[in-house]
Amino acid sequence: MRATYRIRQLLAALTVRVSEADLAEADACLPPDARSLFRRMPLDGQAHALRVMRDLVRAGHTHSSLLAAALLHDAGKSAARITPLTRSIFVVVERVAPRRLVRWPATGWRRPFAALRDHPRVGAEWARAAGCDELTVSLIARHQENLSSAVAGEEDRLLKLLQEFDDRN
C-alpha cells in the first residue's frame, strides 16, 4: 500500500463518526449477540466495515452471510489496541520479515502485532460464539487468504467479493 493511502487512513481514523442510524443499519444484518461484537470494534473499524457492507449492497450483493462477514471481518483486531503507528510497523515487518511475525507471541508490546496477524481466526471464533452462521464464520476466517484465480464454489465466490470490496475501502 502506498504512503498516501496510509496518510488518508490516519486522517479518516482521527475524524470518524458512527451514528445511531449507522449502528441500526449494522444491527439489521447481524444476529443479536453479534451486534455487541460490532460495537466493540473501534470507530474507524466500524466505519470501514459499514463502507464495505454498503458498497456490497450498492453493487447488488445481498447474501446475508456476506453482509454479516463484511461487518465483522476485522472484529478480531479489537483483541488489542491498534494504533496507526502499530498498523504501519506491521505492514513494514510483514513485507520485510514475515516469518518474524509468525513467531511473535500475543503478549507485551507484541500483542497488537499478534492481534493484526491473528485477527481473521480470532474474529471468526468470536463470530461463531456470537451466533453467526458457519458461512459467515468461514468468510471472516478466510478473508485474508490468498485465493487462487479459480473460484471453487459459492463460498469462494463470496470470499472473493468480500476481499474485493474490503480492498476498496
Q: What is the pTM of this model?
A: 0.85
Q: What is the mean pLDDT of the chain?
A: 89
pLDDT tens digits for range 75-129:
999 888 887 778 777 778 778 877 776 677 777 888 888 888 999 999 999 999 9
The answer to whether residues 41 and 78 touch, using CB atoms and an 8 Å cutoff, is: yes
Question: What DSSP designation does 81 have?
Answer: -
* Distance in angstroms (rounded) separating the CA atoms of residues 75 and 31: 15
Q: Is 155 helix (H, G, I), strand (E, B) or coil?
A: helix
The answer to whether residues 143 and 163 touch, using CB atoms and an 8 Å cutoff, is: yes
Is 90 exceeded by the pLDDT of residue 30? yes
| pLDDT confidence tier of residue 9, bands split at 50, 70 and 90 | low
